[in-house]
């Protein structure tokens, strides 16, 4: 596959895979009749991933700068880091096994986009493993918060790229075809 489509280096999906975004622009999603229910729930999950990642990065920065005590950071890191990792794994499994096959069947011209997103999920497994190892290092006192912050920054950059691309591909398909057969 084209290296420019790798999660680590791409700046977005090719225009051909974003074709439906022109017909279903982001600023009109919430007012669409097919938004409520599945799309709203799915985007809420994505927002949760963004917020957890941002919070963990913010905590690591505060701990690194001495604004957050270690004993305050550790329970938050354990709880919210675990929540992020477990939720992302489950979310990706559901997408790969259920949503992606159905949605790609509704828009055959976008199959390549679903392949890219599936490949992202596999790449993110490695990122989640690194993230978990770094978080566990902080919890065990083996890693400084600054080292963990760098891991979170790397993870967060790829997570945000993936979420935006996934939304640009999937939401317009669901808005166009409706959520039938997806739940």
Residue 17 inside a domain? The answer is no
**Predicted confidence (pLDDT) per residue in 51-95, tens digit:** 999 999 999 999 999 999 999 999 999 999 999 999 999 999 999
**Structural domain that includes position 117:** 25-177
pTM more than 0.85 = yes
Structural element, H or E, at residue 156: helix 145-177
Residue 11 inside a domain? The answer is no
Residue 182 inside a domain? The answer is no
Residue 14 inside a domain? The answer is no
Alpha-carbon Rg for the chain, nearest whole angstrom, is: 18
Give 180's DSSP letter: T
11 band by pLDDT with thresholds 50, 70 and 90: very high
Residue 171 inside a domain? The answer is yes
Percent helix, percent strand, percent coil in the chain, to nearest 5: 80, 0, 20
Residue 8 inside a domain? The answer is no
**Predicted confidence (pLDDT) per residue in 102-149, tens digit:** 999 999 999 999 999 999 999 999 999 999 999 999 999 999 999 999
Domain count, the chain: 1
Is it the case that residue 28 has pLDDT exceeding 80?
yes
For residues 24 and 172, give the distance between their C-alpha atoms in angstroms, rounded to a whole number.
6
Residue 15 inside a domain? The answer is no
Residue 7 inside a domain? The answer is no
Query: Which residues, at least 6 apart from 25, have a Cβ–Cβ distance to it below 8 Å?
Result: none
């Amino acid at each position: 596959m084209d290296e420019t489509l790798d999660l680590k280096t791409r700046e977005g999906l090719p225009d051909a895979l974003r074709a439906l975004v022109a017909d279903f622009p982001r600023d009109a999603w919430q007012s669409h009749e097919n938004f409520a229910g599945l799309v709203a729930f799915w985007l809420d999950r994505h927002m949760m991933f963004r917020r957890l990642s941002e919070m963990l990065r913010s905590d690591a920065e505060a701990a690194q700068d001495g604004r957050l005590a270690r004993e305050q950071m550790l329970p938050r890191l354990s709880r919210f880091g675990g929540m992020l990792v477990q939720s992302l794994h489950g979310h990706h499994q559901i997408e790969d096994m259920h949503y992606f096959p159905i949605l790609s069947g509704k828009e055959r011209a976008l199959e390549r986009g679903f392949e890219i997103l599936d490949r992202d999920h596999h790449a993110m497994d490695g990122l989640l493993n690194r993230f978990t190892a770094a978080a566990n290092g902080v919890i065990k006192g083996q890693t400084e918060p600054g080292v963990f912050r760098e891991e979170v920054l790397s993870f967060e950059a790829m997570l945000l790229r993936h979420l935006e691309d996934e939304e640009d591909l999937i939401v317009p398909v669901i808005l166009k075809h409706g959520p039938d057969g997806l739940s």
